[in-house]
């Protein structure tokens, strides 16, 4: 059980959000590359040969009618379920079939459609628990107590409080997460991801169920994160949001990619219109 819990540390990252290939939109290799991804559930082909890429420092949208396979793509890319076929590269490394917790350590982090928070932990703890490579999790840290991890813990608390202030939730720090509203839970989930210093954030319908005011606030924050160098892949139903946020949009229907381009581009495309009317 030694360093077990902390093995596979991600390459050391600078403070704040990891900065990868900022400004190098053209030319540099994509951060995430998905090729011919296939996922079957029983006899159902939920995802049927999907390929796309996500460049560093951009927001990519994944749209499509219900049942198009968007969420399945997200589940497979995040390692939540293994793919039936195809390959996934993250940061130049083949990560196909790696389980979710391993991928998370390499900087590929997801949220869930229904925000998952640790209800029995306070908001602040929800953030602390996500910090990578905590000394307090090693056997030495457990047995040594605060002598080993006290200083580190203070730094983490500082960082977590800074995030809470940024998201306007400082006053909720000591509330149990289960008492938060839906929008606050989603914010906690995103902050928790930020604690991990991710390089690619996969968001599964982040705007679902949020009030229009919160949607605007969250969009603002996502744009800021992108400007700090984070890449995002966003599954979203709300096309207005996609329009405002995403430089590139991948449209899916029936488990396949039917179009790729800017949102304005896609609106003119026949097959995209059809899938939304029919689908």
Partner 1 sequence: MYLGTDLLAAWGLNLEFGVAGIANLAYIVVIAAGAYTYAVLTLGPTSGNGGFQQYILGFHLPFAVAVVAAALAGALVGVVIGITGLKRLRQDYQGMVMLVVSLMAATVVGADTGLFNGQAGLSLVSNPFSGSGSARGDWTYVAVVALACAVGFLVLRRFTGGPMGRTLRAMRDDEHAVAAIGRSVVKLRLVAQAVGGAFGGVSGALLVGFIGGWSPSAWGYPETLALLTAIIVGGMGNNVGVSIGTFVVYLLLLQGVQFLPQVASHPGLTEAFGWIILGATTVAFVWLRPQGVFPERRPRFGPRARSGDGGGAPSGPELSDSVGA
Give the Cα separation of 131 and 149 in Å (integer). 13
Binders of partner 1 among 59-98, rule CB under 8 A? 78, 80
CB nearer to partner 1: pick between 22 and 154:
154
Give the Cα separation of 180 and 73 in Å (integer). 29
Binders of partner 1 among 168-197, rule CB under 8 A? 170-171, 173-176, 178-179, 192-193, 196
CB nearer to partner 1: pick between 22 and 101:
101
Binders of partner 1 among 1-20, rule CB under 8 A? 1, 4-5
Instruction: Name 50's Cβ contacts closer than 8 Å, sequence gap at least 6.
Output: 34, 36, 37, 38, 69, 73, 86, 252, 255, 256, 257
Give the Cα separation of 186 and 142 in Å (integer). 31
Least distance (Å) between residue 197 CB and partner 1:
11
Q: Pick the piece of the chain touching partner 1 (CB under 8 A) from 24-32, 101-109, 231-239, 258-266.
A: 101-109
Binders of partner 1 among 23-62, rule CB under 8 A? none
* Whether 258 contacts 272, CB under 8 Å: yes
Nearest-CA neighbor of 157 among 140, 136, 143? Answer: 136
β-sheet bridge partners, residue 232? 59, 201
CB nearer to partner 1: pick between 24 and 99:
99
Positive or negative, the Cα torsion across 245, 246, 249, 254?
A: negative
Least distance (Å) between residue 153 CB and partner 1:
7
Least distance (Å) between residue 114 CB and partner 1:
5
Give the Cα separation of 205 and 208 in Å (integer). 6
Angle in degrees, CA 87, 92, 98, rounded to 5:
50
Q: Pick the piece of the chain touching partner 1 (CB under 8 A) from 65-73, 147-155, 221-229, 271-279.
A: 147-155
Binding site for partner 1 (CB under 8 A): 1, 4-5, 78, 80, 99-102, 104-105, 109-112, 114, 116-122, 124-126, 128-130, 132, 134-137, 141-143, 145-146, 149, 153-154, 157, 161, 170-171, 173-176, 178-179, 192-193, 196
């Amino acid at each position: 059980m030694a360093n077990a819990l902390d093995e596979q540390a991600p390459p050391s990252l600078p403070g704040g959000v990891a900065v990868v290939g900022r400004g190098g939109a053209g030319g540099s290799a994509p951060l995430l590359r998905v090729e011919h991804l296939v996922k079957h559930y029983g006899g159902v082909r939920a995802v049927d040969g999907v390929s796309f890429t996500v460049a560093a420092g951009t927001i990519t949208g994944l749209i499509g009618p219900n049942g198009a396979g968007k969420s399945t793509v997200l589940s497979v890319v995040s390692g939540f379920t293994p793919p039936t076929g195809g390959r996934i590269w993250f940061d130049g490394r083949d990560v196909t079939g790696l389980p979710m917790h391993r991928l998370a350590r390499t900087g590929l982090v997801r949220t869930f459609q229904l925000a998952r928070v640790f209800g029995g932990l306070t908001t602040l703890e929800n953030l602390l628990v996500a910090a990578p490579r905590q000394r307090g999790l090693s056997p030495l840290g457990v047995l040594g107590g605060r002598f080993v991890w006290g200083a580190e813990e203070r730094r983490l608390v500082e960082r977590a409080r800074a995030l809470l202030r940024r998201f306007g939730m400082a006053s909720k720090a000591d509330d149990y997460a289960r008492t938060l509203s839906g929008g606050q839970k989603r914010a906690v989930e995103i902050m928790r991801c930020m604690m991990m210093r991710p390089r690619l954030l996969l968001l599964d319908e982040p705007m679902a169920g949020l009030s229009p005011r919160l949607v605007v606030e969250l969009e603002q924050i996502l744009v800021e994160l992108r400007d700090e160098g984070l890449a995002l892949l966003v599954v979203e139903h709300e096309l207005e949001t996609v329009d405002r946020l995403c430089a590139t949009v991948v449209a899916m229907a029936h488990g396949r990619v039917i179009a790729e381009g800017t949102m304005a581009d896609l609106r003119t495309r026949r097959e995209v219109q059809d899938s939304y009317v029919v689908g």
